[in-house]
Amino acid sequence: MKYPHLSKLLLSVLLALCCSLAMGKMTASDLKPIFGENFDAKLKAVQFLSKEGSPEALEILQAMSSETLFLSPQGVIMQKNDQYIDALTGQAVSVKPEELQEVVLNNLMRGKVDNALLGLQLASSDAAIRTKAVDALIKDPELDTLPLVEKLMASEKDPVLKPKVEKLWALLALQSDNQEAKLKAIELLGDSGDPQVAALLAPLAKEGGPVQEAAEKALAKIKKSEFSGEILGNMIAGLSYGSVLLLCALGLAITYGLIGVINMAHGEFLMVGAYATYVVQGFFRQYAPAYVDWYLLFALPVAFITAALVGILIERTVIKFLYGRPLETLLATFGVSLLMIQLTRTIFGAQNVEVANPVWMSGAMQVLPNLVVPYNRIIIFGFAIAVVIVTWLVLNKTRLGLFVRAVTQNRTMAACVGVKTVRVDMYAFAFGAGIAGLGGVALSQIGNVGPDLGQSYIVDSFMVVVLGGVGQLAGTIYGAFGLGIASKLLEPFIGAVLAKIAILVVIIIFIQRRPQGLFALKGRSVD
């Protein structure tokens, strides 16, 4: 041979490689300490499996966690369904149950096994499994998983999961002795804006040096983000409250602008709509349980029609005799309100009733670390906008809407050209009551349903009508959402009662300056 020394060198390298591979291969002796009583030896075996990282190691850890790993005369075996297989080779083996030795895990060791298992799941090709593992480790970060997390952070491409992996790495890096990694972790946690990590950073703000400075900056960022989240959350709550106010005030604006009636029973139409929703829910639960998640779609027309019929009954029996007498109307409708509340208590009881959210309205959306927006509030806001659009179409594109606008602007002239004003009054009152009934459906999804439900909204609804302008759709929209947002922004600082008082004072001052409200009624109107 021309180069004997080269061939010997290659042979020695191959032998060394084979030896190293043989030494690194998992054997039964590596697993036997798991079944012993020595805690340190058992922990080293678990750490070995975690670092080994093979599919076999993952299966063994899963078997330990589910208590299906055993030691037998044939070696370490796992139970799968009704058969036993060798943990190393995957071959089926025949054993007697009395020969099996179980793994004994205390709470501390079980936690170590679960964390090692989660660490190996970080390498899964399934994004859902990786996400589940990351979420679990964030709740209980173990420093042993840091190398696996660093590997995942370098390779993760999922834009949704990537920030979670970075947060997990930061939580682990805080436990390490590497100051450079700790400083980077503090910066990442500060940028996340998550108020839950503030408790971890607070002790670091007392260490001194670069770590203290970085922790103070991170805490300032978190505090600023938390404040922004609270303001945004209050605004979203204000939009939700404004949506219900809008549905209540919309009908009130139509009837008050049309016939000048101060209807103190209008809030009870909300209550009628909410209880109609409760009845429809009960019907579906009893007679169509398979379709109970869709009861809300059927409750909408039922609530509208029920509230409209109650509105017609009140208008025909009480209100039509009191046109042009606002004080008597106020007292009479207040009495009607008390009568409706007592009648509801007699039929349904004095206690609140349960109206559940359908599945498609349950859950929430994470907007910020400290801000979760429920789906039901988002849907109710969209529903309120849809009702406004339908109302605008009815008032501006239908014959009834033309008559309502004509009577609102000049009742005498409308009557002179053949408009039956009495019938228009009845239809408009029913339409306004029906819209409030729809508001009751929305309210049943975010609040309690009880006999006194409407009393909480009638005063605010009148303020919306007065602020927006009598009979003005656009003014009602601005007034409802403006009042709702202003209330929720003030409540955290001065309380709910003082917030209402402050808003009332502002509205009184505004009406003194502009009696017609935000939007003045166009045309010649008569009292």
In a domain, 378, yes or no: yes
Q: Is residue 159 domain-resident?
A: yes
Q: Exposure pattern of 371-396 as b/e (b: 16+ CB <10 Å)?
A: bebbebbbbbbebbeebbeebeeebe
Q: pLDDT for 22-51, tens place per residue?
A: 334 677 777 878 887 788 888 888 878 777
- Write b or e for each residue in 206-220: b if 16 or more Cβ atoms lie within 10 A of its Cβ, otherwise e: eeeeebeebbbebbe
Q: With both helix axes pointing from N to C terminus, report the angle between 209-259 and 473-494 in degrees, rounded to the nearest 10.
A: 140
Q: Which residue has the higher pLDDT, 118 or 247?
A: 247
Gap between the Cα atoms of 32 and 290, Å rounded: 53
More confident residue, 304 or 162: 304
> Does 221 fall in a domain?
no
**Assigned token pair, 245:** 């106010």
Give the model confidence (pLDDT) of 317-347 as tens digits. Answer: 888 888 777 778 888 889 999 999 999 999 9
Mean pLDDT within 61-78: 81
Quick one: pLDDT at residue 471?
61
Q: Are residues 169 and 264 in the same domain?
A: no
Q: Are strands 83-86 and 75-80 parallel, antiparallel or unpaired?
A: antiparallel
Mean pLDDT of 406-435: 84
Q: Which domain holds residue 131?
A: 122-207
Is 327 a domain residue? yes
Number of folded domains in the chain?
Answer: 2
What mean pLDDT is predicted for residues 228-249? 88
Taking the C-alpha atoms of residue 310 and residue 437, their distance in angstroms, rounded to an integer, is: 10
Burial class (CB in 10 A: 0-12, 13-18, 19+), 317: exposed
Amino acid 25: pLDDT: 63
pLDDT at 9 over 60: no
pLDDT on residue 10: 44
Share of residues in the chain with pLDDT > 70 (%): 92
pLDDT of residue 8: 46
Residue 315 falls within a domain, yes or no? yes
> Mean per-residue pLDDT for 481-509?
87
Strand 101-102 and strand 92-93: the pairing is unpaired
Q: Is the pLDDT of residue 499 over 90?
A: no
Which range scores top for mean pLDDT: 23-37, 338-352, 414-428, 492-506?
338-352
Q: Are residues 442 and 325 in the same domain?
A: yes
- Give pLDDT, residue 520: 60
Q: Are 240 and 378 in contact (CB under 8 A)?
A: no
The answer to whether residues 418 and 289 belong to one domain is yes
Higher per-residue pLDDT: 445 or 144: 445
Band the pLDDT of 20: cuts 50, 70, 90. very low
Q: 190 with 239, same domain?
A: no
- How much of the chain, in percent, has pLDDT values that exceed 90? 13
Do 383 and 412 sit in the same domain of this protein?
yes
Same domain, 386 and 262: yes
Pairing of strands 371-374, 101-102: unpaired
279 and 154, same structural domain?
no
Mean predicted confidence (pLDDT) in 475-480: 86
184 with 241, same domain: the answer is: no
CA 429 to chain centre: 36
Domain boundary among 409, 434, 462: 462
Segment 192-237, tens digit of pLDDT:
777 777 777 877 777 777 878 888 888 888 888 888 888 888 898 8
What does pLDDT average to over the chain?
A: 81
pTM: 0.70
341 vs 17, residue with greater confidence: 341
CB neighbours of residue 118 within 10 Å: 22
* Residue 73 bridge partners (DSSP): none
Higher pLDDT, 347 or 185: 347
310 and 442 share a domain?
Answer: yes
Q: How confident is the model at residue 437 (pLDDT cuts 50, 70, 90)?
A: very high
Q: How far apart are CA 391 and CA 506, in angstroms?
A: 29
pLDDT at position 1? 45
Residue 304 pLDDT class (50, 70, 90 cuts): very high
> 416-430 b/e with 16+ CB inside 10 Å = b?
eeebebeebbbbbbb
